[in-house]
Structure 1
Amino acid sequence: MTHSAPLPGKNLLLAACRGDANNDHPLLRSARELAELHEQRVGASRDRVDEIDHERTRLVREIDYWVTGQLPPSLGAARVHTETIGAVVDRLGQFTAGAFAALASGSNSELGDAWERLAELAIGYEDLKDEVSVGHRRLPGAP
């Protein structure tokens, strides 16, 4: 299903990573799942980490496949980005889980660093979303 704005903004994406988004958008659903997997990964056994990482890889590929079908063709002079949208969403999930772990630990220095990383990546996602949506940037592996 194609949405009028195929890639959600950073605020919706962050809400999905927190588990707050009640939206059935494919990217938001996958973001929520990735954040949950990163939470489960903390303190998991090696075998469980392998299972989680396999599931994360599957979700990242699903996101990338879906995104490729939603975007307009990039312009001939469009520069390639270093990561796919799926990889960025996976890191947003990781950074969200890390920020909440830092919050739970009570360490102010860890908390500040974790939230800063998360905020910077969210801004980077928003910039990438805007650039690929108008064809000014292309994603690795995209036509």
Structure 2
Amino acid sequence: MPSLGLKGADLMCAAPTSLTLVMTDMRLSFPSDEELLSAIRGHHIGDQPLCGFAREFGILHEQLLETAAAHAEIARRRDELAVEVDTWVAARLPVPHPNASLHTETVGRLLDRIAEAQVHAYRLLMTISPDDPRVHAAWYRLAELVDGYTDLTREVIQRARRLPALGDRR
């Protein structure tokens, strides 16, 4: 996992609410929705690798809002980061049940979309009136994505859902 330049208080441990699957010598652990959103904002990242990846996605989306330049470089890094997430997850996935349905996107792409939605919603909240319908719509969209993440991670742990094979990219 890439170094995010975080230390000290930034690495506080979040409440142990992650969904976890224990296998013989490997452990697949998904952060809870609260842990994930906290990590994207840079709070309570802890030692959960997916929280570190989520924070980096958050940083990249913040950079996209702050600069008109370097969009291609940021997009390239987002693609690389999604592959890193997917590689990390794939190495720890349980064997799905033979009847498990295929999810349409990888965990890396989903984390990227959640980070984008959260950064967007937070930026709207800080820059326009909180009662503006765009603020409500942005937070509602974020909630939908987080619900999808929660459902997906639960189904993967239960072996009821399988993820696209590595190499399936945009």
TM-score clears 0.5:
yes
Alpha-carbon distance in 2 for matches of 1:139, 1:22:
25
Q: Which residue of 1 aligns with 2:140?
A: 116
The answer to whether the 8 A contact 1:95-1:114 is kept is: yes
Match of 1:85 among 89, 107, 113: 107
Alpha-carbon distance in 2 for matches of 1:2, 1:8:
16
**Partner SS for 2:152:** helix
Contiguous gaps of at least 5 residues in structure 2? 1-24
1:63 maps to 2:85: yes
Alpha-carbon distance in 1 for matches of 2:47, 2:76:
23
Contiguous gaps of at least 5 residues in structure 1? none
Match of 2:150 among 126, 129, 139: 126
TM superposition score normalised by structure 1: 0.91
**Partner SS for 1:75:** coil
Query: Hey, which bits of structure 1, 4+ residues long, moved more than 6 A?
Result: none
One-letter code of the match for 1:91? R
The answer to whether the 8 A contact 1:6-1:71 is kept is: no
The answer to whether the 8 A contact 1:83-1:139 is kept is: yes
One-letter code of the match for 1:135? R
Match of 1:25 among 48, 52, 72: 48
Percentage identity across paired residues of the two chains: 39
Q: How many residues end up aligned between the 2 structures?
A: 140
Question: How far 1:43 sits from its partner (Å)?
Answer: 4.6
Higher normalized strand content (fraction of residues):
2
Alpha-carbon distance in 1 for matches of 2:73, 2:51:
22
> 1 or 2 for the larger relative contact order (CA 8 Å, sep ≥6)?
1
Alpha-carbon distance in 1 for matches of 2:36, 2:61:
15
Q: Which residue of 1 aligns with 2:3?
A: none
Q: Which residue of 2 aligns with 1:51?
A: 73
The answer to whether the 8 A contact 2:54-2:112 is kept is: yes
- CA-based RMSD of the aligned residues comes to 1.5
Q: Which residue of 2 aligns with 1:40?
A: 63
Higher normalized helix content (fraction of residues):
1
The answer to whether the 8 A contact 2:38-2:45 is kept is: no
Q: Which residue of 1 aligns with 2:32?
A: 9
Q: Which residue of 1 aligns with 2:5?
A: none
Match of 1:97 among 93, 96, 119: 119
One-letter code of the match for 2:136? G
